[in-house]
Amino acid sequence: MKTKIALAEPSDLPEVLALLNESDLPEAELGCSPGTLILTARDVDRLIGCAALEVYGEHALLRSVAVAADRRGEGLGDRIVESALELAGRLRVVEVYLLTEGAEDFFARHGFQPFDRSRVPSAVAGSPGFTACRCADATCMEKRLAASRERRNRSALALSLHDLAPTDRPEPTGCACG
């Protein structure tokens, strides 16, 4: 069965909240903020994974990453996190933060590194997802997307150079005039 990852519809919210409850993750104010984007992973009619991005300009909080217990270990968590990071990049987010208890190594695979909580930008630190984390001992992690942004800028430059090339091209020699 092909699992589809997509932006959530409002009608997905009850299933997302149920998955977060089953996964023992806080659901605080998920879906209430206009800057929150939720991704869902579905096998046809069943929601089997989710993640959410709370976006605050160039900063974002990745939260609510969960996979249904009977579908863990199949690579779906990796796919959801990569989709969320790709989405963040497209939204010009530069730094993504998260809080986790127990999944530090999982997020480290995706380039997240432990980060001093007191240095988290105030918009993220005061966000519903950040403040909802029940455990003060949860590990704060950060990933910079600047490199991807530079890559995008480089591809944009390559594209514009490519676009310019035909007009700059010299006329063929030995033209047939006269």
Ligand X SMILES: CC(C)(COP(=O)(O)OP(=O)(O)OC[C@H]1O[C@@H](n2cnc3c(N)ncnc32)[C@H](O)[C@@H]1OP(=O)(O)O)[C@@H](O)C(=O)NCCC(=O)NCCS
Name the nearest CA neighbour of 53 among 20, 71, 19, 30. Answer: 30
Q: Under the criterion CB under 6 A, does residue 78 sit at the interface with ligand X?
A: yes
> At closest approach, how far in Å is the CB of 64 from ligand X?
6
Smaller CB separation from ligand X, 23 or 152: 23
Q: Which stretch binds ligand X (CB under 6 A): 32-40, 59-67, 88-96, 115-123?
A: 59-67
88 contributes a contact to ligand X by CB under 6 A: no
Which residue of 10, 73, 170, 172 would you call a contact of ligand X, by CB under 6 A?
73
CB of 152 to ligand X, least distance (A): 25
Burial (Cβ within 10 Å: 0-12, 13-18, ≥19) of residue 43: middle
Both tokens assigned to 142: 């950060």
Cα–Cα dist 41/51, whole Å? 9
* Of residues 33 and 152, the one with the C-beta less far from ligand X: 33
Q: Are 17 and 30 in contact (CB under 8 A)?
A: yes
Q: Which of 13, 15, 23, 43 binds ligand X (CB under 6 A)?
A: 23
Stretch of 5-13, 36-44, 71-79, 117-125 contacting ligand X, by CB under 6 A:
71-79
Within 8 A by CB and 6+ apart from 147, the residues are none
